[in-house]
Amino acid sequence: MTSTAPSPLPRVRTQLICSDFDESLADADSDRWVHEVLAPDLRRNFDQPNGPQFTDLCAELLRQLHARGITQQQIEAALRSMYFHPAMARGVKATAESATTQTTWFLLSNANTVYIDTILKDQNIHQYFLEIVTNPAHFEASGLLNLRRRVDPSGPQHTCAVGCSANMCKGDELDAFLARHGGRGNFERVVYIGDGGNDYCPVMRMQQGDVALVRTKRGLQRRIEKEGAPQAGIRYWSEAWEVEFILAELRGEELLSS
């Protein structure tokens, strides 16, 4: 395991930081967390081999939560209790507000809109993200949290050959974001923060000079080692405080360590 990105990272005028959510920006898995707090026996369904498509499983477990009388307020309270490392929140805020480098934040996740919006607003960093692309979800009048795949199973499907889940191709979504916002040339550098195997597709679409922040001992690192490294440089990290230091480096600053 060797980082391949230059050190120090060069300063640029404009950059896009695209981040995964669960176990990357946030320090836990929001889908599992809700059930761990409210119905641990349901959470164990996530560990079943050869189960249904993951988003469909999450939707079914939410229906079971609702059948047990779990309310919207209980789900939102569980989300607000989920651990979010303060170093990550500080890093997002400082980078978004930096006067030295214009940074655009983009969140790309297989979680859902309700989970992400609730947690980011609780951390007071929701406003720093230009776009959040994830699975749509909403509370119905009955209190049921209704979750759907981003890519509707009844419509055209993505054609990813890298192994993205049926609900979304993260590589396609990154390319689409860039197209919506002036093209790849509008950003001198693209940075991706990820941990899971489903982050491999967007990381492999990055270019030389870009930077992939890869969490160690997770699916993304394993896929890179097994299937090949991206053109982008790699910085490995384990804990959120390390990402805070890298984000400072990305904006040309240095944090003092004790």
Segment 44-57, tens digit of pLDDT = 999 888 889 999 99
Residue 20 belongs to some domain of the structure:
yes
How many angstroms separate the CA atoms of 248 and 233, rounded? 17
56-60: long-range contacts (C-beta < 8 A, 24 or more apart)? 56/149, 58/31, 58/112, 58/147, 59/146, 59/147, 59/148
Q: Is beta strand 211-215 parallel, antiparallel or unpaired with respect to 233-237?
A: parallel
Please give the C-alpha separations between residue 228 and each of 1, 140, 204, 232, in angstroms, as whole numbers.
13, 44, 9, 12
Q: What is the CATH number of the domain that holds 119?
A: 3.40.50.1000
Annotated binding site for Mg(2+): 20, 22, 195
How many angstroms separate the CA atoms of 187 and 209, rounded? 11
CA dihedral 227, 230, 236, 237 (to 10 degrees): -90
Average pLDDT of 52-64?
A: 97
The confidence score (pLDDT) of residue 257 equals: 59
Residue 177 belongs to some domain of the structure:
yes
Q: Which of 138, 21, 28, 147 is nearest to 78 (CA)?
A: 28
Average pLDDT of 210-233?
A: 98
Residue 110 belongs to some domain of the structure:
yes
Helix, strand, or coil (residue 236): strand
Segment 96-120, tens digit of pLDDT = 999 999 999 999 999 999 999 999 9
What type of residue is 5?
Answer: A
Q: Is beta strand 129-135 parallel, antiparallel or unpaired with respect to 14-19?
A: unpaired
The model's confidence at residue 256, banded by pLDDT at 50, 70 and 90, is low
* Residues identified as active-site: 20, 22
User: Phi/psi at 139 (nearest 5 deg)?
Assistant: -85, 130
Residue 4 belongs to some domain of the structure:
no
Residue 48 belongs to some domain of the structure:
no
Q: Which of 41-55, 104-118, 161-175, 207-221 has the lowest mean pLDDT?
A: 41-55
Domain that holds residue 228: 14-27+84-135+153-250
Residue 196 belongs to some domain of the structure:
yes
Q: How many domains does the chain have?
A: 1
Q: Is the pLDDT of residue 137 over 50?
A: yes
pTM for this one? 0.96
The model's confidence at residue 258, banded by pLDDT at 50, 70 and 90, is very low
How many angstroms separate the CA atoms of 155 and 85, rounded? 38
How many angstroms separate the CA atoms of 144 and 77, rounded? 15
What's the chain's average pLDDT? Answer: 96
Helix, strand, or coil (residue 253): coil
The confidence score (pLDDT) of residue 82 equals: 98
Residue 50 belongs to some domain of the structure:
no
Residue 8 belongs to some domain of the structure:
no
